[in-house]
Structure 1
Amino acid sequence: MTSVVGTVTAFLWRGWTVLVSLCLLGALWQVGHEVYGGLVLPAPMDTLAALRDLVAEGVALPAALETARDALIGFLVTAVVGVIVGAVAGLSVTVGRLLEPLVRFFLGVPAIAWVVLALIWFAGSGLAAVFTVVVTTLPVVIIGAMQGARTLDRDVVDMARVFRAPPWVRVVDLYVPHILSYVFPALATAMGLSWKLAVMAEVLGGTAGIGEGLSLARVNIDTADAMAWILLALVMLLSLEGLVMDPLRRRLEPWRTRGNGGGRS
């Protein structure tokens, strides 16, 4: 009963803080509109009206699904490959030393450079967005998994071996929980980057999706439409994080929820 009350209290507290933040953002947005005018920053209600029109015209949902497909495919590839490769590199000194220069190289290349190369290699194809997402976010997840594997308490590992714990027990109860505590922040970062990169590739490549809508809004000098597309992308990203990432984190990291105790901190 106490845990249920704590969960409800935490949910209400988070909802209240989110509402206050949205009201503050809306107020600042309206002030910016009053100062700079609608061409630079349309009013919040004008943006919502433009988004409503995009939905009514039947262009918003297909574009959002197109962008979501490219971003999610790239993100899933990054998550699977990044966690496996990073964990192996963290547990093996040799693999880690071989991989670190490559990871630093990929981290050092600007995202826009990958977009340009992807548009040359995969012109007119959704693969450009997927490729850009993977090569840009993969190093982030690999580093997270590497750090998780490297900081694993060797004394605990040795103890598990002394007590002859089966390999699958060591993996499920020892390796996975510890590595996940480092991987999930990296995955959250990769999720946000995936959307930005997919939209960027669509804007520059002229392929279907939210990026195409933004590109058309730029050509038409329609700031309200541009803000509406941005708002749509933000809503989609937050929905995915709330409906997929947060429940997955609670399921795979129950110790983190228990540690918070349903408090407000």
Structure 2
Amino acid sequence: MMPIADRAGRAGRFLWSAWAGLAGLSVFAATWQLGHEAYGSFILPSPAETLASLAALLRDEANWALVGATAGRALLGFSVAAGIGTLVGVLAGYHPAVMRLTRPQVTLLLGVPPIAWIVLLMIWFGNGAGTVVATAAIACLPIVFIGAAEGVATRDRGLDDMARAAGVGPFTRLFRVALRQMLHALFPALVMALGTAFKAAVMAELLANAGGVGEALAVARANLDVAAALAWILLAVAALIGVEYGLLQPLRAEFETWREAARPWGVKR
């Protein structure tokens, strides 16, 4: 019963902390309204107009399929990048030679803009979903690698020595000591990579006419329908927030329960 109570308590505190996020969104909506009053509906529709357009989009089941397609492609690219980037990052964190070999390649990947990868992937693989997934994966890979490598490289080696002196095997030290310390750098990198995956996926869909939210944005642009474009953007952001707070943040809370134990009683986030 105690683990269930602990999880329920963490979930309750997480939901209660959403008030701060709602306050920030209210400030953003107020600024948006000011921009609408200054420039008019043709340049910047009001939040109410955008929400009305969003409600109209949600009434069509086909639009749900478009959002699901974009989210699925972004998640697939993110998953590939998370797996490869974490594995290579852990190896690089343990072995300086691997770090020296991979760092220039990571810098190269970071230096190439995603739109350039989209053009190359369209030439290589055509305008299908593979181009969208590959673009998302390539855009995420360096971010995950850096988070994993820095997390392992900056670990407390004294804990490794203490575990080794206690007779703990290498794999147990890896999973119970080193990787737990790596998470403080890896999870922020994963959150950033997830957002990058969604942005890259929408951009690839728009340029490659590969369906999803990106193609819907292209149609809204052709029709000069700014309210519809903003509504599609809100749908993409809502899908991103749903994945982050429905998947990544619960995983982070589950793997970093030691932070709750180490926090003094009564200290708030």
* AA aligned opposite 1:19: L
Q: Distance in 1 between matches of 2:184 and 2:158?
A: 19
Q: Does 1:122 align with 2:125?
A: yes
Distance 1:262 1:75, change over 3 A: farther
Instruction: Give the TM-score taking structure 1 as reference length.
Output: 0.93
Q: Distance in 1 between matches of 2:217 and 2:50?
A: 13
Q: Does 1:83 align with 2:86?
A: yes
Q: CA deviation at 1:5?
A: 10
Instruction: Indicate the larger mover: 227-236 or 163-172.
Output: 163-172
Q: CA deviation at 1:57?
A: 2.3
* AA aligned opposite 2:193: A
Q: Distance in 2 between matches of 1:182 and 1:5?
A: 26
Q: Distance in 2 between matches of 1:4 and 1:246?
A: 13
Instruction: Look up the match of 1:133.
Output: 136
CA contact (8 A) 1:9 1:262 kept: no
Instruction: Look up the match of 1:240.
Output: 243
Q: Does 1:188 align with 2:191?
A: yes
Q: Does 1:62 align with 2:65?
A: yes
Instruction: Look up the match of 1:38.
Output: 41
Per-residue deviation, residues 93-112 of structure 1 (Å, max 9, x unmatched): 22111111111111111121
Per-residue deviation, residues 54-107 of structure 1 (Å, max 9, x unmatched): 121223201101101110000000111111100001101221111111111111
Choose from 76, 80, 95 the match for 1:92.
95
Q: Distance in 2 between matches of 1:252 and 1:216?
A: 42
After TM superposition, list the pairs within 5 Å mapping 1:14-25 onto structure 2. Answer: 14-25=17-28
Q: CA deviation at 1:207?
A: 1.0
Q: Does 1:229 align with 2:207?
A: no
Q: What is the RMSD of the two structures over their aligned residues, measured on CA atoms?
A: 2.1
Distance 1:80 1:45, change over 3 A: same
Instruction: Look up the match of 2:153.
Output: 150
Instruction: Look up the match of 1:172.
Output: 175
- Unpaired runs of at least 5, structure 1: none
CA contact (8 A) 2:148 2:186 kept: yes
* AA aligned opposite 1:115: I
Identity of aligned residues (%): 42
Residue 17 of structure 2 aligns to a residue in which SS? helix
Q: Distance in 2 between matches of 1:215 and 1:157?
A: 53
CA contact (8 A) 2:152 2:179 kept: no
More relative contact order in 1 or in 2 (CA 8 Å, sep 6+)? 1
Distance 1:116 1:263, change over 3 A: farther
* AA aligned opposite 1:146: A
Q: Distance in 2 between matches of 1:114 and 1:201?
A: 9
Q: Distance in 1 between matches of 2:8 and 2:242?
A: 25
Distance 1:251 1:36, change over 3 A: same
Aligned length: 265
Instruction: Indicate the larger mover: 89-98 or 238-247.
Output: 89-98
Distance 1:218 1:245, change over 3 A: same
Q: Distance in 2 between matches of 1:12 and 1:78?
A: 29
Distance 1:131 1:9, change over 3 A: closer
* AA aligned opposite 1:40: I
Q: CA deviation at 1:175?
A: 1.4
Instruction: Give the TM-score taking structure 2 as reference length.
Output: 0.91
